[in-house]
């Protein structure tokens, strides 16, 4: 595997040349760390607007309106096709165009499910925004970022306080034996010598079944008043206040869920299933697991060097937006105080002196290798 240095052209996929090299190398670090809350607020408004559009598509009784709302899903491959065409990658552009046509056909065939899938993907995008909020690089103020993170995580049943504590611990122990994922992903079965066990592991990984099991267990402990004590026993390094904040947050989430369930029983309707349960199971889970699969899978572990234990990917504007710049993960682990919008430029700068060991040309390139590993096993990893 060869090391990777970012292209000298700045921004990715742009034909406009970057500023001269010395100017970029002498750029102060404080400039990269400056939080721009207006961009975070714009992303929140776009998220809310797309959630409303997809929800309207689910509830609408007009087939034409359902199809119009669902057809927004085809905008993703169309934007990727336009970027590929601008890069003179004709075959890749035609592939994305074909994917867009297949998406439109699926939206015509099952518009309601397409809108529900869209809701789930938007919830996964919201989880990535919550990741930015927990780093206090959304608005730049904890008093605002914490409530926003609580709301973004609350709709998916994720404890924001636990997410923040476990994720910051992940940054501290990244690549070492003490490192743990924030979500219970199913990576273990993917390394099995049996193909069928690897395929089963892929399904469990995409469904995030282990995560739901952990959440159910925490709910039971929280309702019996034992969650904080259990967390402190499992994680001696967890602050006591954090443990009780997690327990309180979990209780509030359960209480709100019970209110919604009772309301759906009193007023007979399946809104809870159509607008939350189906999107969570078929949209949020797979999208969230796929977004974060790229970060550290099959990197040099154990190693505390972020240029060896973390992966970055070249990505177009749509992929950067939907993952909230999660593709620049080496730069994020190198300095987590850099807001995500600045990560492409920051990662380009640090790669001049520290080439990236693990990288991919695109998200499709990574997922092809990921699926090849699932089907053929470790032998496929040695053939690149």
pLDDT in tens, the chain (384 residues): 445 554 443 333 333 334 434 444 556 777 888 999 999 999 999 999 999 999 999 999 999 999 999 998 888 888 888 888 887 778 888 988 998 999 999 999 999 999 999 999 999 999 999 999 999 999 999 999 999 999 999 999 899 999 999 999 999 999 888 888 888 787 888 888 999 999 999 999 999 988 999 999 999 999 999 999 999 999 999 999 999 999 999 999 999 988 888 888 887 778 889 999 999 999 999 999 999 999 999 888 888 899 999 999 998 899 999 999 999 999 999 999 999 999 999 999 998 888 888 989 889 899 999 999 999 987 655 544
Contact 214, 246 (CB under 8 A): no
Burial class (CB in 10 A: 0-12, 13-18, 19+), 378: exposed
Domain layout of the chain by residue ranges: 37-146, 156-281, 294-384
pLDDT of residue 186: 73
pLDDT of residue 95: 87
Read off the tokens for 255: 């209480």
Residues 6+ apart with CB under 8 A from 22: none
pLDDT of residue 262: 86
Read off the tokens for 154: 């609350």
203-208 long-range contacts, Cβ below 8 Å, gap at least 24? 205/289, 205/293, 206/285, 206/286, 206/289, 206/290, 207/281, 207/285, 207/286, 208/183, 208/184, 208/285, 208/286, 208/288, 208/289
pLDDT of residue 292: 92
Kindly report the pTM of this predicted structure.
0.89
Contact 100, 73 (CB under 8 A): no
Give, in order, the Cα–Cα distances in Å from 310 to each of 293, 321, 359.
Answer: 11, 20, 9
Interatomic CA distance for residues 263 and 285, integer angstroms: 25
Read off the tokens for 31: 């400039």
pLDDT of residue 82: 85
pLDDT of residue 324: 96
Please measure the distance between the N-terminal and C-terminal CA atoms of the chain and give it in whole angstroms.
8
* Residue ranges with strand state E in the chain: 311-313, 358-360
pLDDT of residue 382: 52
Using the structure block, give the residue that is written with the tokens 């039971």: 220
pLDDT of residue 268: 72
Read off the tokens for 3: 């090391």
């Amino acid at each position: 595997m060869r090391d990777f240095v970012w292209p000298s052209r700045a921004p990715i996929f742009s034909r406009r040349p970057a500023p001269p090299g010395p100017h970029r190398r002498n750029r102060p670090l404080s400039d990269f760390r400056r939080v721009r809350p207006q961009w975070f607020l714009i992303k929140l408004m776009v998220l809310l607007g797309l959630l409303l559009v997809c929800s309207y598509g689910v509830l609408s009784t007009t087939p034409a309106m359902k199809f119009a709302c669902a057809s927004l899903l085809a905008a993703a491959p169309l934007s990727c096709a336009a970027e590929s065409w601008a890069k003179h990658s004709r075959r890749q552009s035609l592939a994305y165009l074909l994917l867009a046509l297949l998406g439109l056909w699926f939206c015509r065939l099952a518009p309601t499910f397409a809108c529900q899938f869209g809701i789930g993907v938007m919830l996964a995008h919201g989880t990535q925004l919550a990741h930015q909020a927990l780093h206090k690089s959304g608005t730049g103020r904890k008093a605002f970022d914490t409530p926003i993170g609580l709301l973004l995580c609350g709709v998916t049943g994720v404890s924001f306080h636990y997410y923040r504590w476990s994720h910051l611990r992940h940054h501290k122990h990244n690549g070492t034996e003490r490192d743990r994922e924030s979500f219970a992903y199913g990576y273990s079965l993917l390394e099995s010598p049996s193909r069928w066990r690897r395929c089963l592991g892929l399904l469990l990984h995409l469904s995030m079944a282990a995560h739901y099991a952990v959440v159910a267990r925490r709910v039971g402990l929280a309702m019996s008043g034992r969650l904080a004590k259990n967390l402190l026993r499992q994680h001696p390094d967890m602050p006591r206040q954090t443990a009780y904040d997690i327990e309180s947050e979990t209780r509030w989430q359960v209480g709100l869920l019970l209110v919604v369930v009772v309301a759906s029983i009193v007023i007979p309707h399946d809104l809870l299933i159509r607008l939350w349960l189906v999107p969570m199971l078929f949209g949020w889970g797979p999208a969230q697991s796929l977004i974060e699969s790229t970060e550290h899978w099959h990197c040099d572990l154990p190693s505390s060097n972020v240029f060896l234990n973390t992966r970055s990917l070249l990505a177009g504007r749509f992929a950067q937006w939907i993952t909230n710049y999660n593709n620049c993960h080496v730069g994020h682990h190198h300095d987590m105080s850099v807001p995500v919008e600045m990560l492409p430029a920051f990662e380009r700068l640090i790669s001049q002196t520290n080439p990236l060991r693990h990288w991919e040309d695109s998200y499709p390139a990574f997922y092809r290798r990921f699926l090849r590993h699932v089907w053929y096993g470790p032998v496929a990893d040695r053939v690149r």
